[in-house]
Structure 1
Amino acid sequence: MVVFTGLIIIRLYNEIWSNTIVIGSYFGATGTSSYYIAIVVFTLLTLAYTLKGGMSSSIMTDVIQLTLFVGLLTVILGFILPQYGGSLTPFVSSGRWELGQGLDLLLVALVQCLSYPFHDPVLTDRGFISDPRTTLRSYLWAGAIGSLCIIFFSFVGIFAKLNDLSGEAPVAVAKYFGVPMLLLMNLIMVTSASSTLDSAMASFSKLVSIDLGNAETPNVTTGRWAMVVLTVLGTIPVFFDPVILSATTISGTLVLGLAPIFLFWNVAVPRIAFHLSVVGGLVLGALLTFLPLPDALRLTDGKYGALLSTNLITTAYCFLVFFACTVFRTKNA
């Protein structure tokens, strides 16, 4: 439980800075005073209402965020698609289907989707307050709706590429269409970021006060202080100007060991199989991520070639040790 909790803490920690720097980019260039002020103000406002309302506030912003996102996304597509006569062909046919042209990152996503969802505290926390049947239906609908939203929102990035717009795609496209569109895009990103941020805070509060604390009589004050600590520590990376994508790619690599554990949950294995897969995957993934990867191990020279190679090597190790433990247990049964 402690090891699994550690993985969740890594995820929640990354959720703080990765969402706040998105907001900062709408108010100024990275590193400027307006950029940092916007981040601090946004973070404190979100912390304030989450301290008061906890998960209830978080769920409320989730509903608001989904409603606004779907509505405003429709408006944005109404601006973008007519630029090409309403045809999707320019979007679908843009770019090249090659490893070095983004396919490597897609493959990383496919590898990580076997483990990444299993350490999403936002999903699991909501699951524990509903009955299993309702939870299952919610997950299935959320998966379908979320996938469609991601696909259609990616058209914003493709539009930016087709028109050689520099900077963060949502910001660049919004500015391209003028102030009204910029305000709409701001509204989408602010509600989306706050919805994720307050969920991370509420989940960390539950983790400290209930999961690692006293589940029988959880201390609300302890949970609130946990939110404050996470917010302060999670904001520190902002001042080192990290890359947004690294929040998911790195943490996703560190939890690859969860894949065999959850995918083969009904396979009898010794306790050591969990630690060899999860802890071993965490260590190996960290080493391959933060240390230079030898050229001989890189599958492609593309931007995400090293990341793809790291994920494949770590995943192969995790499944190998898991099934090795299974074979060992069978022989000694």
Structure 2
Amino acid sequence: MQTTVLIALFGAILIASVLAAPRRTSVEGFFGGLGTTGATPGLWVLVLSQVTTWIFARSLMNAAILGYYYGIAGTLAYAAYYGSFLTGGFIVGRLRQQGAGSVQDWLGARFGAVGNGCYNLVIALRLLSEVFANLLVVGLIFNALLDGSGTTAIIIVAVLGLAYSAWGGLSAALRTDVLQMLVFLGVFGAAFFALVMSPGFDLGAVLTAPGASGPWNGWVLLLVALLQVFSYPAHDPVMMDRGFIADEDTTRASFLHAFWISTLCIIGFGFFGIQASLAGAAYEGELIGTWSAMFPAWIFVALMISLLVSALSTLDSALASASRLVVEELRLAPRTLNGGRMVMLGFMVAGTVLTLWGNATLFDAVAVSGTASMFLTPVLVVGLVMRREVALWGYMVAFAAAILGAFMYFARSWSWVAAMLPDGHKYEQLLVICIAVLAVGFAGVLAGMKRG
């Protein structure tokens, strides 16, 4: 019964998203998010779009899984990544003060095509991972509900998500984000209220919970997040694209509101994972099976709808940013509606194929892309904040260190890579990698800083 209800509700949301997408759009609306009258989005359209594209399905699951294993420390560690709205807002403000219309504008003026190429490679991989990871969560949910249905669900969501995304591009993503975020807040709010009002819920116990594996690795991961939080937003094109489509005051306010709303949502979702560990529930199916056994049917359905809506809202924004990247930055496709749509089709097909790969470790994509982005920290601190010129070779040292660090974390199980890493938990290894990446990156950038 609950499977039927869930499919019916999600189907209705998919249809509503298609109907909410603009019937007509211009090239400027498709790539720049302008409305049919040429107006820029208002404050709360921008806020809701920022939030719903960042509390995506993978993030909600990560917060809950980390809460289950490491208690409040794990949930806070993941919530720390949402400080990216503060650092991202700061970076966007500085870029706009210096006359840049995007991160690529600023990097291109200082490091040319090579500097932009390195950056574009990282964000292309980031966008592909967004499509892959959110489709993967859709598959996990439907496989847990009806064994063997995951691949079919992934294909259906991919086709329908592509349909309305390709219809209106960024303008469609902004409009549907508002609808999807309001649905998410209503559904998740009801489930969270039921959780905190349930007889077995103890706020004090949740806030001091050690998790199923103890809090140590959660605190380690919090340090990792704090090291990555400055560069992390700069490599997220979905956030950066929304930093340049409205006036500066509206944009600044949107980042601040998005920070506190998204942080509360992530911590709230983490509570469901923490509660599962406190109840002594067995970890099953990325917590989906655990929740199915723990909660009444309507709460479980509300949680699953929250995850599915967040997956859908991120897919359209990732596709819109992918089309802008390939068409406007890389200029590999014509700046037409059909050019943007072909790019979307390519990214959606590639992301769907990756779901067949079989890697369901949801945090790995965050760790790898977050580490790869860390070359931006010394570059932005010295070049953007301190306004000092940096030689291209210094930039390349930082980039090479970050890519090598990301690769080492990804390949940590390979014998020759493991021999170079300290013994310990993977998050302890990640912390050491991040410290080394920053140390080498700052050394290279400072050595390449032009004097006088």
Common topology (TM > 0.5): yes
| Structure 2 contact 130–314 (Cα < 8 Å) conserved | yes
Output the CA distance in 2 between the equivalents of 1:196 and 1:317.
33
Which moves more between the two structures, 70-79 or 5-14?
Answer: 70-79
Paired residue for 2:222?
Answer: 106
* Matching of residue 316 in structure 1 with residue 439 in structure 2: yes
Give SS of 2:390's match: coil
* Distance of aligned partners of 1:187 and 1:98 in 2 relative to their CA distance in 1, 3 Å threshold: closer
Give SS of 2:142's match: coil
| Structure 2 contact 378–438 (Cα < 8 Å) conserved | no
1:141-173 superposed Cα distances (whole Å, 9 cap, x missing partner): 111211111111110110121122422235532
Paired residue for 2:30?
Answer: none
Structure 1: gaps spanning 5 or more residues: none
Q: How far is 1:98 from its partner? A: 6.6
Q: How far is 1:32 from its partner? A: 5.3
> Of 390, 402, 409, which aligns to 1:281?
402
Q: CA RMSD in A?
A: 2.5
* Distance of aligned partners of 1:314 and 1:30 in 2 relative to their CA distance in 1, 3 Å threshold: farther
Output the CA distance in 2 between the equivalents of 1:172 and 1:288.
29
Output the CA distance in 2 between the equivalents of 1:148 and 1:174.
24
> Of 377, 386, 391, which aligns to 1:270?
391
**What are the equivalent positions in structure 2 for 1:162-201 lying under 5 Å apart?**
162-163=278-279, 164-167=281-284, 168-169=286-287, 172-201=290-319
* Distance of aligned partners of 1:36 and 1:257 in 2 relative to their CA distance in 1, 3 Å threshold: same
Q: How far is 1:207 from its partner? A: 1.1
Residue identity matched to 1:302? H
Structure 2: gaps spanning 5 or more residues: 1-115
Q: How far is 1:106 from its partner? A: 1.9
**What are the equivalent positions in structure 2 for 1:151-230 lying under 5 Å apart?**
151-163=267-279, 164-167=281-284, 168-169=286-287, 172-213=290-331, 218-230=335-347
| Structure 2 contact 405–434 (Cα < 8 Å) conserved | no
| Structure 1 contact 46–198 (Cα < 8 Å) conserved | yes
1:54-85 superposed Cα distances (whole Å, 9 cap, x missing partner): 11221122212322222223212222223356
| Structure 1 contact 156–169 (Cα < 8 Å) conserved | no
Output the CA distance in 1 between the equivalents of 2:272 and 2:324.
36
Q: How many pairs were matched up? A: 327
* Distance of aligned partners of 1:184 and 1:98 in 2 relative to their CA distance in 1, 3 Å threshold: closer
| Structure 1 contact 95–101 (Cα < 8 Å) conserved | no
Residue identity matched to 1:117? P
Give SS of 1:127's match: coil
Residue identity matched to 2:222? L
1:157-205 superposed Cα distances (whole Å, 9 cap, x missing partner): 1012112242223553255223222221222111100110110001101
Output the CA distance in 2 between the equivalents of 1:245 and 1:31.
24
TM-score, normalised via structure 2 length? 0.67
| Structure 1 contact 175–181 (Cα < 8 Å) conserved | no
**What are the equivalent positions in structure 2 for 1:107-122 lying under 5 Å apart?**
107-122=223-238
Output the CA distance in 2 between the equivalents of 1:110 and 1:30.
36
TM-score, normalised via structure 1 length? 0.89
| Structure 1 contact 47–198 (Cα < 8 Å) conserved | yes
Output the CA distance in 2 between the equivalents of 1:308 and 1:272.
26
Output the CA distance in 1 between the equivalents of 2:147 and 2:426.
27
Residue identity matched to 1:255? S
Output the CA distance in 2 between the equivalents of 1:77 and 1:159.
12
After the TM superposition, which segments of 4 or more aligned residues of structure 1 sit over 6 Å from their partners? 96-99
* Distance of aligned partners of 1:255 and 1:223 in 2 relative to their CA distance in 1, 3 Å threshold: same
Residue identity matched to 1:320? A
* Distance of aligned partners of 1:232 and 1:32 in 2 relative to their CA distance in 1, 3 Å threshold: farther
Paired residue for 2:164?
Answer: 49
Residue identity matched to 2:339? T
**What are the equivalent positions in structure 2 for 1:7-86 lying under 5 Å apart?**
7-29=122-144, 33-84=148-199
